[in-house]
Amino acid sequence: MLVFDKNQDLTASFDTTKIREKSFISGTNMDPLHDAIKQAILDHGPVAAAVCVNNEFQSYDSGLFNPRRPCNSINHAIVLTGWDDSLGAWRLRNSWGPNWGEDGYMRIKYRSARVSCEASYLYYNPGGVDSMMQLLLSGQ
């Protein structure tokens, strides 16, 4: 199991000229996709992802989230901060504050609510700009 410290401030602003790499993780076969997301979390820290939010998701307060009703439309951005293979679940951080879920977090089954269908991350280099930044700025 890997979980980043929930007290770690992940909302700090940063100088966008020091972004060295951006990556988008997507696919149709979920198991390799899950492995790629786990590797990105190991290598780069929490990753941005999306999820399908419905009433069940909104009313989550604790435990392992595995909705009874299907939810098919991705409509909310979240952050995946870790996982627990023994539960088959991601550790998800939501933007709704500490009064939602488990202090703003959720344990969600790997394939529930379309979580982890796609994810992305940035690699930030506080040491300076390099040629990767020029590539990012050019939009190529």
User: What's the fold here for domain 16-138?
Assistant: Cathepsin B; Chain A (3.90.70)
pLDDT over 70 at 8, yes or no: no
Mean pLDDT of the chain: 74
pLDDT tens-digit map of 60-92? 999 999 988 888 788 888 999 999 999 999 999
Q: Parse the chain into domains and list their residue ranges.
A: 16-138
Confidence label for 118 from pLDDT (cuts 50, 70 and 90): low
What is the Cα–Cα distance from 48 to 39, expressed in whole angstroms? 14
Q: Residue 89: which of 108, 105, 106 has the closest Cα? A: 108
DSSP-assigned letters across all residues of the chain: -EE--TTS-------GGGEEEEEEEE-SSHHHHHHHHHHHHHHHS-EEEEE---HHHHT--SSEE--SS------EEEEEEEEETTTTEEEEE-SS-TTTTBTTEEEEETTGGGTTSEEEEEEE-TT---HHHHHHHHT-
pTM over 0.85: no
- Stretch (H or E) spanning 131: helix 131-138
Alpha-carbon distances, residue 125 vs 12, 16, 37, 42 (angstroms): 14, 10, 20, 17
pLDDT score of 133: 42
